[in-house]
Structures are given as structure tokens and as C-alpha cells.
């Protein structure tokens, strides 16, 4: 019979109390019980019970992190529809919205409708209870828009760019907003300061972004020309120091991805990001939908200590394009792959760094 590990036996003895039924459980069984909890809020609360529960919860997280990439690679992940209870509030139908996870909650901002309208509302999904809540936020609201980026940074979520109408000419934005999660408050910061030949990024939508240390790195997208009301597809890279709100346009060399928008951008670590896929079209004949789709994969080597570069792009070798390009690209669905899935594909050598 399994016994309570010796290193945990003294916790109740020091408190002067005999261990209860749960404390008598073997570590393996307690860890199994904790593995049945939702991984978002409940499991995090269990870490605060005692040292033993914290170690068991950390063991559950470690096991899940090891198993998840394998499950993605082997196709053992399944979508399920959650209708655990009738909800008084539910988010309305939309596309081109932005979403991110912070503190056990999924936050969704804005989006577009098929009627060419746009939203600037903010919704929150409790990942434990699967309940939607529309947040009534104070502060200076962003403009209604879609195809923006929305990234968690410390105790805030950073919202940048976007557009508000699919008709030509589009209305695009350079707005930079911070949503303070604890205070439930929007703050607009303008564009901040800038350096280099082009001090600030142009208005853009359909771009991608990741945060590395204090740097938000923005790539590509559909940009609004600063001199006249025309749009163009870009492969430019911009970086924003979120500590001092200073923009940079880092040098990245001659080799770089083709201009594109609605690509997937994934942070691998503080010094590497991946860009995969995306779309290209000629803006002047938008309604003829001459979309060019990409299935290439590029890695950008980033130095957070040198926000103006030089950084280096390298195209990755795709061994099995059927796996990388396994989904048809919808013009308004940019997130094709997750970070763990891309890492698993690299570990299994479907995507390789060139020699």
C-alpha cells in the first residue's frame, strides 16, 4: 500500500493536528484527483492549500504540458460544445474579433458582422464555469473594429490596430489601448514616441503580434498608406517597448517573408518567433478575391535588448506540407496553429531549421 511521502508528514504534526482523510491519501492518488479539476482557476487555487497540494498541482501541470504536444501531433484533440447551463448573457455572432487568455478567463474584443458593422464590446468567458459576461468597462473605449491584436502583458491586455469596414476604402487604426484587468478600465496611450526613418507604424489591420520580454513585435498586415487613402499588404516588422512606449523599426536583412496578412505568429521564447501562412491579394480588385495563400514557415531571431535590430529572418524547411497546410485558409481566420502544436511539429521534424 502506498504511504504518504515522508517530506509531507510533518506539516500537520507541526500544526498540532492529526491528518484528515485527504491528507492520508497517497501522493499518487491526490495528484490523480487534482488532475480531474479544470486546469484554469480551481487547480491554481489548490496550489495555495499547502506545500504538498502545490507540488501535486505542479505535477499535474507538468504532465499535461508533456502530453499536449503529442496529442496535437497525433490528432487526439477533440472539440466539444459546451452548453452546461442556460446563459443569461451570450456573445453575439461575429468574425474578425480578437481574443486572449489571462488569469483563467478568455477575453474577446470587438469583431465584425456580415452586415458590415463592427463592435467595440469586451466579453469575458470564465473557463471554469463556461459562463459569458459582458464587461462594463470604464475609461476611454477603443473604436469599433476587427482584425486587431489583443495580447496579455503583466496586469494589462494590449490592443493595437484594426479596421472597421470591409468596403473600400477601409477605415484603419493606429490606436493603442491597454485594458487593465484588475481595474476593469481602458486606457488609451496614443502612439507613444518613435525612432528611425519611419517613426511610427501606419494604420493597419490583419497584422500579427507577439510579446517578448517588454517588446511587442508586430509583423505584416494590410497597411494604410500614410500619404494617400490606399491600402497595401506589408511584410514590415515593428517593435514597441511597452515599458517606455517607444516604437522601433528594426533592421531584419534582405531575406524575409513575402508581404501577407492574416498570418499566424507564435512566440517560441524571448528570442524566437514563428510566422506561418497568411494571405495576399491586390487591394484594387478586392471583390474579385484573387487571394494567394501561403503555407511557408519563417523564424525571426529577436534580441529584446536591441529593439532596433539587427534581427534575422530564416525560412524553415517544411518536410511534409500536407501536415503544415492541412487546413484551408479562411480569409478571416488567422490563427491556424497553436504554440505547442508548432513546437511539436518542430520536434517531430515536420518543420526544420535550414542547415
For residue 77, the model assigns a pLDDT of: 82
What residues pair up with 221 in beta bridges, in sequence order? 234
- DSSP character string of 11-73: HHHHHT----TTTTS-HHHHHHHHHTS-TTTHHHHHTTT-HHHHHHHHHHHHHHHHHHHHHHH
Buried b (16+ CB within 10 A) or exposed e, 162-175: bbbbbeeebbbbeb
Rounded CA separation 256/279 (Å):
15
Give residue 258's pLDDT band: very low, low, confident or very high (50, 70, 90): very high
**What is the spatial distance between Cα 27 and Cα 5, in angstroms, rounded to a whole number?**
7
Main-chain dihedrals φ then ψ at residue 111, nearest 5 degrees: 125, 180
SS3 81: coil
Q: How many percent of the chain have pLDDT more than 70?
A: 74
What are the grid coordinates assigned to 266, written together?
507564435
CATH (residue range 6-74): 1.20.1280
Least confident stretch, 139-143, 267-271, 280-284, 331-335: 331-335
pLDDT of 165 over the 90 cut = no
pLDDT per residue as tens digits for the range 65-123:
888 888 877 888 888 777 655 566 789 999 999 999 998 899 999 999 888 889 999 99
Sequence spans of domains, the chain = 6-74
**5-46 per-position pLDDT tens digit:** 444 444 444 455 566 777 888 999 999 999 999 888 888 899
* 3-state SS, residue 291: coil
Amino acid at each position: 500500500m502506498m504511504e504518504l511521502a515522508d517530506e509531507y508528514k510533518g506539516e500537520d504534526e507541526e500544526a498540532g493536528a492529526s491528518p484528515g482523510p485527504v491528507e492520508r491519501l497517497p501522493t499518487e492518488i491526490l495528484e490523480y484527483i487534482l488532475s480531474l479539476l479544470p486546469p484554469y482557476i480551481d487547480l491554481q487555487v489548490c496550489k495555495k492549500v499547502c506545500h504538498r497540494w502545490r507540488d501535486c498541482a505542479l505535477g499535474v501541470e507538468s504532465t499535461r504540458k508533456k502530453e499536449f504536444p503529442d496529442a496535437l501531433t497525433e490528432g487526439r484533440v477533440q472539440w466539444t460544445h459546451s452548453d452546461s447551463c442556460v446563459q443569461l448573457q451570450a456573445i453575439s455572432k461575429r468574425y474578425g474579433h480578437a481574443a486572449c487568455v489571462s488569469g483563467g478567463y478568455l477575453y474577446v474584443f470587438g469583431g465584425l458582422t456580415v452586415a458590415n458593422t463592427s463592435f467595440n464590446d469586451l466579453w469575458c468567458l470564465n473557463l471554469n464555469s463556461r459562463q459569458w459576461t459582458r464587461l462594463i468597462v470604464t475609461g476611454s473605449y477603443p473604436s469599433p473594429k476587427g482584425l486587431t491584436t489583443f495580447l496579455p502583458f503583466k496586469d494589462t491586455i494590449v490592443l493595437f490596430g484594426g479596421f472597421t469596414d470591409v468596403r473600400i476604402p477601409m477605415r484603419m487604426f493606429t490606436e493603442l489601448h491597454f485594458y487593465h484587468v484588475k481595474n476593469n478600465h481602458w486606457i488609451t496611450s496614443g502612439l507613444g514616441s518613435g525612432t528611425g526613418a519611419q517613426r511610427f507604424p501606419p494604420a493597419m489591420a490583419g497584422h500579427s503580434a507577439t510579446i517578448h520580454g517588454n517588446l511587442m513585435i508586430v509583423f505584416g498586415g494590410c497597411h494604410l498608406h500614410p500619404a494617400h487613402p490606399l491600402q497595401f499588404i506589408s511584410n514590415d516588422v515593428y517593435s514597441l517597448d511597452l515599458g517606455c512606449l517607444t516604437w522601433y523599426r528594426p533592421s531584419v536583412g534582405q531575406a524575409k517573408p513575402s508581404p501577407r496578412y492574416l498570418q499566424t505568429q507564435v512566440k517560441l521564447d524571448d528570442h524566437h518567433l514563428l510566422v506561418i501562412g497568411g494571405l495576399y491579394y491586390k487591394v484594387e480588385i478586392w471583390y474579385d478575391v484573387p487571394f494567394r495563400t501561403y503555407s511557408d514557415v519563417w523564424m525571426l531571431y529577436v534580441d529584446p535588448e536591441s529593439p532596433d535590430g539587427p534581427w534575422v529572418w530564416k525560412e524553415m524547411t517544411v518536410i511534409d506540407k500536407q501536415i503544415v497546410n492541412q487546413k484551408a485558409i479562411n480569409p478571416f481566420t488567422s490563427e491556424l496553429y497553436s504554440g505547442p502544436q508548432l513546437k511539436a511539429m518542430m520536434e517531430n521534424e515536420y518543420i526544420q531549421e535550414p542547415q
